[in-house]
Amino acid sequence: MGRKQDTGSGGDRGDGEGRWRRGGVWAGVAVGSTVAALVAVLAPFIAPGLRSNSPPFIPTTAFHVKTIARICAQNNCRRLLDLGSGDGRIPIEVAKHVGISTVGVELNPWLVAVSRLKSLRAGTWNLTSFVRQDMWRFPVCDFDAVVVFGVKEMMPQLERKLDTELQPGALVMSCHFHIPGRMPLHTFTQGSQTLLLYRW
């Protein structure tokens, strides 16, 4: 009888240990899946910051958006391109308040999806277009206004691209950083925020 009781007790322990192991395996799977999902979501936001010629996502301020819209209206711009358009606020607001065609180029698929949804909700879907593409591969020749919120390291490469592709007389608006070798027509400031306006 004693041996049967011992055997039963050992079986209970074995079942408990098995359940604990299975629970640990499922917990590990859940944690691994969560980490993988986070990496998939965050990678498009983090990766650009690791490349010197690609701007990370930084939301554009209301000052920049309003100033860009005012410049487009005052200069009778017909078509605006936002290189690295993020969540699409510049193309959407310019289309909404100025009534011109706008295009946003953005490599991050999540931000492109957000931009399209925001444009639909804002009622500007017929004036805006958001393209998922590397900004360096997108042609700028069909636009008379170009906006970029880049990083200092990419500005020389940007100047070469604009020199090669942009139509003479087009306006270029750069948030914060100077384009080397070019003299801005005007520099707009508000506190620490800067927008530089160039005519090509």
- For 71-109, write each residue's pLDDT tens digit: 999 999 999 999 999 999 999 999 999 999 999 999 999
* 105 & 7 share domain: no
Q: How confident is the model at residue 150 (pLDDT cuts 50, 70, 90)?
A: confident
In a domain, 70, yes or no: yes
DSSP letter for each residue of 52-101 = TTSPPP-PPPHHHHHHHHHHHHHTT--EEEEET-TTSHHHHHHHHHH--E
* 90 & 38 share domain: no
* 82 & 163 share domain: yes
In a domain, 142, yes or no: yes
Alpha helices, DSSP H only, in the chain? 2-46, 62-74, 89-98, 109-122, 155-165
Which position has the higher pLDDT, 7 or 94?
Answer: 94
Question: Which domain covers residue 95, as residue numbers?
Answer: 62-199
Place of tokens 């359940």: 19
Report the C-alpha gap between 82 and 102 in whole angstroms.
Answer: 8
* 10 & 109 share domain: no
Average pLDDT over residues 50-67: 77
In a domain, 54, yes or no: no
In a domain, 126, yes or no: yes
Q: How confident is the model at residue 19 (pLDDT cuts 50, 70, 90)?
A: low
Which position has the higher pLDDT, 111 or 12?
Answer: 111
* 112 & 35 share domain: no
Structure token pair of residue 175: 């948030």
Average pLDDT over residues 137-166: 96
Count of domains forming the chain: 2
